[in-house]
Amino acid sequence: MHIYLYEPRSERHQGLTRELGSVSMSPVFIGPEFFRTDLTLLNRGRNDQRPFLLAAEAENTIEQVRLLRSSGCGNPIIVLRDFRNSNHAAAALNAGADDDMTIPLKGIELKSRLNSVMRRAKGHASESVTVGEVTAFFDGRDPIVAGKRVRLSRREHAIFQHLALSPNRLVSKAAIYDAVYGMAEEQPLDKVIDVYICKIRKKIDAASVTGRQYIETVYGRGYKLSIDQADEPVATPDERQAEVA
């Protein structure tokens, strides 16, 4: 997962990068100029859902949160401050921040807080969601299918969680690609998503005892985690090629 990180003190970048990397998060460092750009672009297409981690700078932080929210940005926002200050924390939360943390930052806690914010934003109060035989967890655990653990790779987890956050709803291929590869140095072709979807589907289908298929491909639009009604999902050409390979 990539995360926008505002921290003007460059001497802290290495430590933050290391801590975030311990939980498979990659920081994208932003500066004051970021907040002078057209922030409405973050909301265009709903593809850029990267969380924001903002190092507190008194009034500047409140203004940054307000700018993001007034632009229509619904991305998770967590404020990071050096010392606990109830008044400043309350002001940040009232301005639209989702959480307020005090350093030292621990990656495992940040990831749990982000998972909590993201699942609530999608209407999930609990730590998991169940679709038929499939139980998907939002804390990084492998899914359970018909009582059996299905092991997924790191990339497969990232893709599957996006589907699980929106069960029975279409998730566009562009949104998944942007979340998984959007800020990566190496940008593979978008058909890599089809390949991973094919792998995830095979693993889930193999564990199912009912024979149902749970990942539907809506050709040209995206994917959906749901219980098939009758027909099998139509695979894309890239998925069919992946199945043969």
CATH number at residue 29: 3.40.50.2300
Q: Are 109 and 154 within one domain?
A: no
**Domain termination residue (choose one: 121, 151, 172):** 121
Residue 75 contacts residue 51 (beta carbons within 8 Å): yes
Q: Are 87 and 132 within one domain?
A: no
Q: Are 29 and 133 within one domain?
A: no
Of 180, 203, 198, the closest CA to residue 241 belongs to 198
User: How many structural domains are present in the chain?
Assistant: 2
Which pLDDT score is estimated for 230? Answer: 38
Q: Are 187 and 206 within one domain?
A: yes
- Higher-pLDDT residue of 140 and 212 is 212
Express each pLDDT in 49-92 by its tens digit. 788 999 987 568 999 999 999 998 888 999 999 988 899 999 99
Q: Are 13 and 115 within one domain?
A: yes
> Is the pTM here over 0.95, yes or no?
no
Q: Which domain holds residue 100?
A: 2-121
Give the contacts of 18 (CB within 8 A, at least 6 positions apart). Answer: none
Q: Are 221 and 134 within one domain?
A: yes
Q: Are 10 and 85 within one domain?
A: yes
Within 10 Å of residue 50's Cβ, how many Cβ atoms?
20
Q: Are 162 and 222 within one domain?
A: yes
Which pLDDT score is estimated for 2? Answer: 84
CATH number at residue 137: 1.10.10.10
Of 209, 178, 217, 181, the closest CA to residue 225 belongs to 217
pLDDT band at 44 (very low <50, low <70, confident <90, very high): low
Q: Are 32 and 88 within one domain?
A: yes
